[in-house]
Amino acid sequence: MTTEIARVQGALDSAGERARSLQTVYVYQAPVRLWHWVNALLIVVLCVTGYFIGTPLPSVPGEASASYQMGYIRFVHFAAGQTLVVFFLLRVYWAFVGNKYSKQIFWLPLTNKTWWWGMLYEFKWYAFLVKDPKKYIGHNPLAHVAMFSFMVFMVLMMLSGMALYSEGHGIDSWQYKLFGFMFSLFTSQTLHTLHHLGMWAIVVFVIVHIYAAVREDILSRQSMISSIISGERLFRDDLPD
Which tens digit of pLDDT belongs to each residue from 154-173? 999 999 999 999 998 999 99
- pTM of full prediction above 0.75: yes
Contact of 159 with 133, CB cutoff 8 Å = no
Helix (H, G, I), strand (E, B) or coil at 222: strand
Q: Tens of pLDDT along 181-229?
A: 999 999 999 999 999 999 999 999 999 999 999 998 888 888 888 899 9
Contact of 227 with 234, CB cutoff 8 Å = yes
Nearest to 42 by CA among 92, 18, 76: 76
| CA–CA dist 222, 112 (Å, integer) | 24
- β-partners of residue 12 are 18, 136
